[in-house]
């Protein structure tokens, strides 16, 4: 295919290429060629080539570059992909289709080291799932989110990158010197950034591996002095941390209501609770608010500050968050 090319002395080739790149004139779809003492650099706009380069523009055949394509261009359809660090996650029941997608991801312009396919739903009280490793090796990665890094092993802990925006919304409300209890902390996506904002954070999780990662992530992000990581049932925190919390994070949407009595015991005189729930679209906030008020009883006034649909969870069901302030009477 004939394209415009800048012809320059071979020994000046790199300097000319850099000037053309700075001017955003390089034609990345065609190959640079060298013949004898002359280098031919394809350009997008021959009229914009700087006169002071001392070069000429010629028309010549140039080979097309074999450039990586997005997975959809390779497959002929748009696959559903999720990124977590350098891992690409797919969700396919058909093994052949899963392999086809994995091969396309590896051959594409998507930067990744590993491709995983979900091999089970979330299981057990630790909320982890099994995975098929279709490309690469291992299930551990480093996820970056709003300036923080989180080491995570998706086969050992629960973690959803889809909740990054929601986590950031909550984290931005935190003031320095707040006392926060993250009741189901995982690897620390709430606890670590909250500590970075100057809060003192008690972070609890039943999954001992998650707590190991949380401690590593607190150190990785330089906030280990403000994070107390505790492995175990959060209901055991009541004695040591009763009446202390300025803020509670209850991100266990399927069963957070079972821990509201503990939340009330942990709450200080004025405490914001971020309560996550899964409810039908007809009444996404009512059941959670009723449960919070029942747990608060006569001890606290309950004020709703935010009602937020986080995302669709299933047909006619929403993952929601209630930001509720408890004020001791």
Which pLDDT belongs to residue 177? Answer: 95
Task: Note the Cα 117 to chain centre separation in Å.
Answer: 17
Task: Note the Cα 286 to chain centre separation in Å.
Answer: 29
Summarised one tens digit per residue, pLDDT across range 277-319 is 999 999 999 999 999 999 999 999 999 999 999 999 999 999 9
Which pLDDT belongs to residue 223? Answer: 98
For residues 284, 316, 117 and 251, what is the CA-based torsion angle, rounded to 10 degrees? 10
Secondary structure class of 4 (helix, strand, coil): strand
Which pLDDT belongs to residue 239? Answer: 80
Secondary structure class of 97 (helix, strand, coil): helix
Tokens of 24: 């955003």
Which pLDDT belongs to residue 318? Answer: 97
- In DSSP notation, 212-226 reads HHHHHHHHHTT-GGG
Which pLDDT belongs to residue 117? Answer: 95
pTM for the whole structure: 0.79
CA dist., res. 69 & res. 78, Å (int): 13
Which of 155, 259, 132, 169 shows the shortest CA–CA distance to 213? 155
Which pLDDT belongs to residue 122? Answer: 87
Task: Note the Cα 93 to chain centre separation in Å.
Answer: 24
Flag residues of the chain having pLDDT under 50: none
- Secondary structure letter of residue 132 according to DSSP: E
Say if residues 211 and 234 touch (Cβ distance below 8 Å).
Answer: no
Reported as half-sphere exposure (CB side, CA atoms, 13 A), residue 264 has a value of 19
- Secondary structure letter of residue 323 according to DSSP: E
End-to-end Cα spacing for the chain: 80
């Amino acid at each position: 295919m004939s394209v415009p090319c800048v012809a320059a002395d071979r020994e000046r080739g790199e300097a000319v290429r850099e000037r053309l790149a700075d001017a955003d004139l390089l034609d990345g779809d065609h190959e640079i060629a060298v013949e004898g003492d002359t280098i031919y650099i394809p350009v997008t706009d021959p009229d914009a080539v700087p006169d002071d380069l001392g070069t000429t523009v010629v028309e010549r055949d140039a080979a097309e570059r074999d450039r990586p394509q997005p997975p959809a261009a390779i497959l002929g359809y748009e696959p559903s992909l999720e990124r977590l660090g350098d891992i690409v996650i797919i969700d396919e029941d058909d093994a052949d289709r899963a392999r086809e997608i994995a091969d396309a991801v590896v051959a594409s312009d998507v930067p990744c080291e590993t491709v995983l396919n979900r091999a089970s739903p979330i299981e057990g009280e630790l909320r982890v799932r099994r995975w098929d490793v279709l490309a690469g090796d291992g299930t551990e990665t480093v996820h970056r989110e709003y300036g923080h890094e989180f080491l995570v092993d998706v086969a050992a802990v629960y973690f959803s990158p889809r909740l990054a925006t929601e986590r950031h919304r909550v984290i931005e409300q935190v003031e320095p010197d707040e006392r926060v209890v993250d009741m189901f902390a995982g690897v620390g996506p709430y606890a670590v950034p909250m500590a970075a904002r100057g809060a003192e954070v008690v972070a609890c999780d039943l999954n001992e591996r998650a707590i190991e990662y949380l401690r590593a992530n607190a150190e990785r992000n330089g906030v280990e002095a403000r994070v107390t990581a505790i492995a175990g049932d959060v209901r055991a925190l009541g004695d040591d941390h009763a009446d202390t919390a300025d803020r509670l994070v209850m991100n266990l949407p399927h069963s957070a209501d079972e821990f509201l009595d503990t939340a009330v015991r942990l709450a200080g005189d004025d405490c914001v609770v971020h309560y996550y729930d899964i409810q039908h679209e007809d009444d996404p906030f009512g059941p959670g608010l009723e449960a919070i008020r029942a747990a608060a009883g006569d001890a606290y006034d309950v004020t709703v500050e935010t009602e937020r649909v986080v995302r669709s969870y299933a047909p006619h069901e929403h993952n929601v968050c209630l930001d509720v302030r408890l004020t001791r009477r």
